[in-house]
Chains A and B, each alone.
Chain A
């Protein structure tokens, strides 16, 4: 990257959720729903002595993308690690449900989800988990009409039940800083032991679950630098690509075929994973 590019590059990771949503939408089209001033926040945190954030950590931004009606659901990784509580998850599920309804009424609303989340908010446990199931349902519904695009950029990455949501999306865009995995490193270490997974070994963690490896192994569709312009361009390009023949989460036989080649008794290297999940597999 030359000096000019460096100067023009705008970090996406340094932006908060609201700013990310605003920059991804076409200029001048951003309109926030259930904004912080409406104060629809968690009914469960105050009684536990936890300070609430007025938007419960999720931004609902309507507008246009590439001239088409769109909604961007931006998860704020800063508040409670972007974890999903009753309200923050309902903002996502409810918006996806309305987008699907729009499509049934001839309005081609598309959706983008900004995944910066550790998964379920423990302080709201079962309401968070149930709402994530509703997000899954809504993605599969909307996906029939429009591509649903997920973007994970860091610093939090995408974990837990929301990694499943990301895996349901039509397309995923990730940066090098992002991580995409089901279980957090500390939990794996706790459950399976430090030899299995050392939660302090950052290079190892990124080598398996980082954006670049996920792209190399076909679990992410576009790999972008930490640059708002590049990420927006990748998103528009994926929307223009339209719905694929089959979404990744529908490719059951292909994944079973690949997994049958895995020697389950040995620990894998990232290179071995890339060899088995070769790019051709999912193109």
Chain B
């Protein structure tokens, strides 16, 4: 799948997991917000999807652009504000299929970096306020788009599927920048785990809470849906049982030994 093909996975999984519950009104077509049950809990589900009629022409293929960034933030902050002072904080599920951030002059002019920060801030603030935040990666989770939508979650879950890709730069761009062919890039990066494009190498970095096998990631069967729902529920329980609201659960892999060493040396030397 090229990065420019319009992906339906975000919309498909949002629909499946919320049993086709209606979209929250007031959001643009590219940001779908649905309030539905997650097990015993009321939850908010958020997905960014392609909008071929997006007024911002550089954000028509499911990219996270200026509007998408701030609208994600609004969708999350509505939940934070509504639950303020309540003992039970509603879970927020980011359904992630975002091939990139939007690239364009308008985007840079009006501060797309600030819009993406708005989204990341909202998710992080929700997490710090006690909302369980879960990211379910069903397609692409790339670069700035993933930093804005998903990477601040307490737990990251991904489907084990060849079209699921998490990375800092798409293959075509990375190949150009490093003066390789795409095939050479794939061969080279397969041997350097943090550079690799496949989801199994990504899983070896210890950032995912679960890697899920489903039979059809494009059109989930009933069994696929149950698998994912059960896992979301389990993630929710895991978050609720965890006293920490930070991201330290991502530091378990041998491939992140240096990340752990840096932190322990900083602590030793801090005083």
A-side residues, CB < 8 A to B, are: 33-34, 38, 40, 42-44, 47-48, 60, 62, 86-87, 90-91, 94-95, 97-98, 119-120, 122-134, 136-137, 140-141, 144, 160-161, 163-168, 180-183, 187-188, 190-192, 196-197, 208-209, 214, 217, 219, 247-253, 255-256, 259, 262, 264-265, 267-268, 270, 273, 276-277
B86 part of interface (Cβ distance < 8 Å): no
A33 to B265, CA, bound (A): 8
Instruction: State how many angstroms separate the Cβ of A274 from the closest Cβ of chain B.
Output: 10
Cβ A129 vs Cβ B173 within 8 A: no
Instruction: State how many angstroms separate the Cβ of A87 from the closest Cβ of chain B.
Output: 5
Question: Is chain B's interface secondary structure helix, strand, loop, or mixed overall?
Answer: helix
Instruction: State how many angstroms separate the Cβ of A132 from the closest Cβ of chain B.
Output: 7
Contact residues in B for A192 (Cβ distance below 8 Å): 58, 103-105
The number of chain B residues with a CB under 8 A from chain A is 75
B128 part of interface (Cβ distance < 8 Å): yes
Contact residues in A for B105 (Cβ distance below 8 Å): 188, 192, 196-197, 208, 267-268
B125 part of interface (Cβ distance < 8 Å): yes
Contact residues in B for A181 (Cβ distance below 8 Å): 108, 113
Per-residue 0/1 for B193-235: is the Cβ within 8 Å of any A Cβ (1 yes, 0 no)? Answer: 0111000001001010000000000000000000000000000
7 smallest beta-carbon distances between A and B, as pairs: A167-B117, A163-B113, A264-B55, A133-B151, A90-B262, A127-B194, A191-B103
Contact residues in B for A40 (Cβ distance below 8 Å): 258, 261-262, 265
Q: Given A140-B121, A187-B173, A249-B114, are A126 and B195 also a contact pair (CB < 8 Å)? A: yes
B37 part of interface (Cβ distance < 8 Å): no
Residue of A nearest to B151 (CB): A133
Cβ B113 vs Cβ A180 within 8 A: yes
Q: Given A86-B256, A126-B168, A140-B124, are A161 and B147 also a contact pair (CB < 8 Å)? A: yes
Contact of B147 among A44, A47, A136 (CB under 8 A): A136
B30 part of interface (Cβ distance < 8 Å): no
Cβ A125 vs Cβ B194 within 8 A: yes
Cβ B205 vs Cβ A94 within 8 A: no
A59 to B55, CA, bound (A): 43
User: 5 additional contacts, CB 8 Å, given A126-B207, A129-B147, A183-B103?
Assistant: A86-B194, A125-B167, A136-B147, A250-B125, A268-B106
Contact residues in B for A209 (Cβ distance below 8 Å): 108
Cβ B118 vs Cβ A255 within 8 A: yes
Cβ B114 vs Cβ A267 within 8 A: no
Residue of A nearest to B118 (CB): A249
Residue of B nearest to A47 (CB): B192
B70 part of interface (Cβ distance < 8 Å): yes
A182 to B66, CA, bound (A): 11
Cβ B262 vs Cβ A126 within 8 A: no
Q: Given A44-B192, A126-B167, are A270 and B109 also a contact pair (CB < 8 Å)? A: yes
Residue of A nearest to B250 (CB): A130
Contact residues in B for A262 (Cβ distance below 8 Å): 106, 110
Cβ B113 vs Cβ A34 within 8 A: no
Q: Given A124-B194, A160-B144, A196-B104, are A136 and B120 also a contact pair (CB < 8 Å)? A: yes
Instruction: State how many angstroms separate the Cβ of B256 from the closest Cβ of chain A.
Output: 7
Name the segment of B10-18, B40-48, B87-95, B174-182 touching the other chain: B174-182
Residue of B nearest to A89 (CB): B259
A273 to B108, CA, bound (A): 11
Cβ A190 vs Cβ B194 within 8 A: no
Q: Given A127-B255, A191-B103, are A166 and B173 also a contact pair (CB < 8 Å)? A: no
Residue of B nearest to A134 (CB): B247
Contact residues in A for B73 (Cβ distance below 8 Å): 252
Q: Given A167-B114, A190-B173, A264-B55, are A208 and B109 also a contact pair (CB < 8 Å)? A: yes
B115 part of interface (Cβ distance < 8 Å): yes
